[in-house]
Amino acid sequence: METSCRICAGPVKGSVDLGVQPRGNAFPKADDLAGEFFYRLLVGMCDSCAMVQLMADIPQEVRYHDQYPYRASNSTVHSDHFAGVARRLLRTELTGFDPFIVEIGCNDGVMLASIADAGLRHLGVEPSQEVAALAKSKGVRVLSSFFDEETAGEIRAQHGPADVIFGANVIAHISHLDSVLKGAVTLLGPNGVFVFEEPYLGAVVEQTAFDLFYDEHSFVFSVSSIRAAARLFGLELVDAEPLAIHGGSMRYTLAKRGARTPAPAVAELLADERARRLDRHATLEDLSRRAERVREDLTALLRELRADGKRVAGYGAPAKITTVTNYCGIGTDLIPYVCDSTPSKQDRVVAGSHIPVVPPSVFAEDSPDYAVLFAWNHAKEIMAKESGFTGRWIVYVPEVRIL
Ligand code: TYD
Ligand code: ZN
């Protein structure tokens, strides 16, 4: 199968086939499974700009509904990270007269709350009403809308140019990325920057993190693909910084073309990506083979444990669990429940595989023999929290192992 690139219209060939999948964050009620939405999760790379992208087009209205369950503040590591981002922006980019910062997808205000506390002009653009309400309760100004070229023009008309546009774990979600980049050009002042941090293709490949592919992740960025995308729209990649968050992310800084001198990190990371062949189809094809191996190993292990009469549970219900369980064909026969601390996911089931989500207290009382760590990017925090767990952890990234 071939489609055309969402960024440059070049040819995109499907390299990773993760099968028929529901929406990663759907978490339907157990008695409301009739309307589940399914699509073919195929991932490909553009021949021209090397952008890794989903081949299917899922309408964003289907994805960001009012009950979007993801809460950025749920992890203390994440809260600390975003408070740090705010402090750094306040120190570096927001030091001029009456600065203005816009955050695309401000979620529950985890970052902008610190900016609001500092008394700076800011605006969060957040289409999901429930999380927007949480942000507002922290004193954050929110525009309930999707960010695109038109919204950017309206914001500029009302508030003037932005010194910073920020986004975290949201820019790669937006299938109309071209319109977002045009919007950034419209909204930014002459020396303004568009800073965003998103899961990094290099980390996905290195860790065989195929579960990072789900409907919301329209793209997985690399330094080379972002540099190419920026160029197409009059922007320039002026800095890139690897981050440990979300199992391996990259923070990109774009400026208007010619406005800033690119930091040495850009050329260094580009050279590293070329050496790792991150811009080649073969790299995705290899990832696909390693994902198949994880599927074989994980299902074999779970079947063996079931045959031995062991009790197994899941820990953490990130969107990733939807990809893994549906790709591997893991249902309640192999994992009877998964615990997660997010109240809005509890009393619901994982889409497609229908594994019930329960509060962590159920896990503590049940004390199973094995726990599959689906929220693997929070391993440290979870293992510290569950230091009383007497069973053993199973991880499947970068390969299936019992810890
Ligand atoms: P996360 O990886 O942040 O998001 P995504 O859905 O984008 O992959 O999700 C982590 C999930 O793990 C989230 O649903 C909350 C849950 N969690 C716990 O249940 N306990 C914890 O201690 C932590 C840190 C997370
Ligand atoms: Zn392209």
Give the CATH number for residue 381: 3.40.50.720
Residue in 226, 220, 219, 216 with CA at minimum distance from that of residue 195:
226
The predicted model gives 337-350 an average pLDDT of 96
Q: For residue 255, how far is its CA from the centre of ligand 2 (angstroms)?
A: 20
Atom in ligand 1 nearest the alpha carbon of residue 78: 3
pLDDT band at 150 (very low <50, low <70, confident <90, very high): very high
Res 274 pLDDT > 80:
yes
Nearest CA to ligand 1 atom 3: 318
Distance from Cα 279 to the centre of ligand 1, integer Å: 30
pLDDT at residue 137 greater than cutoff 60: yes
Distances (CA, A) of 347 to 32, 108, 358, 367: 12, 22, 6, 19
pLDDT at 63: 58
Which residues line ligand 1 at a C-beta cut-off of 6 Å?
Answer: 70, 74-75, 316-320, 340-342, 345, 375, 377-378, 381-382, 385
On whether residue 367 sits in a domain, the answer given is yes
pLDDT at 184: 98
The protein residue whose alpha carbon is closest to atom 10 in ligand 1 is: 318
Q: What is d(CA 374, CA 358) in angstroms, rounded to the nearest whole number?
A: 14
Q: Of 66, 71, 10, 59, which is closest to residue 340 (Cα–Cα)?
A: 71
pLDDT in the model for residue 98: 97
pLDDT tops 80 at residue 278: yes
pLDDT confidence bin for 245, thresholds 50/70/90: confident
Share of the chain above pLDDT 70, in %: 96
Q: 66 versus 344: which is more confidently predicted?
A: 344
pLDDT at 2 over 90: no
Q: Would you say residue 65 has pLDDT above 80?
A: no
Q: Is residue 234 part of a domain?
A: no
Residue 385 Cα to ligand 2 middle (Å): 43
Contacts with 135 (C-beta within 8 Å, 6 or more apart), sequence order: 106, 107, 108, 109, 112, 113, 124, 126, 142
* Distance (Å, whole) CA 340 – CA 386: 12
- Taking the C-alpha atoms of residue 223 and residue 275, their distance in angstroms, rounded to an integer, is 13
pLDDT on residue 68: 61
Distance (angstroms) between ligand 1 centre and the Cα of 189 equals 36
pTM assigned to the model: 0.92
- Ligand 1 closest atom vs CA 70: 6
Within a domain: residue 11?
Answer: no
- Residue 205 falls inside a structural domain: no
> At residue 368, does pLDDT exceed 60?
yes
Residue 322 included in any domain? yes
Residue 6 to residue 44: CA distance in whole angstroms: 11
pLDDT of residue 5 exceeding 60, the answer is yes
Residue at 217 is within a domain = no
Match 């950017």 to its residue by tokens.
152
| Mean of pLDDT values over 64-83 | 74
pLDDT, position 76: 86
Summarize the confidence of residues 160-177 as an average pLDDT: 96
Kindly calculate the radius of gyration of the chain based on its CA atoms and give it in whole angstroms.
21
The predicted model gives 104-128 an average pLDDT of: 96
Q: Is residue 58 part of a domain?
A: no
Ligand nearest to the CA of 50: 2
Domain count, the chain: 1
Q: How confident is the model at residue 1 (pLDDT cuts 50, 70, 90)?
A: confident
Average pLDDT of the chain is 95
Residue 112 lies in a domain: no
CA–CA dist 212, 142 (Å, integer): 28
Q: How confident is the model over 251-263, as pLDDT tens digits? A: 999 999 999 999 9
> What's the gap in Å between 20 CA and the centre of ligand 1?
24
ipTM score over 0.95, yes or no: yes
Residue 356's domain spans which residues?
282-402
Contact 98, 402 (CB under 8 A): no
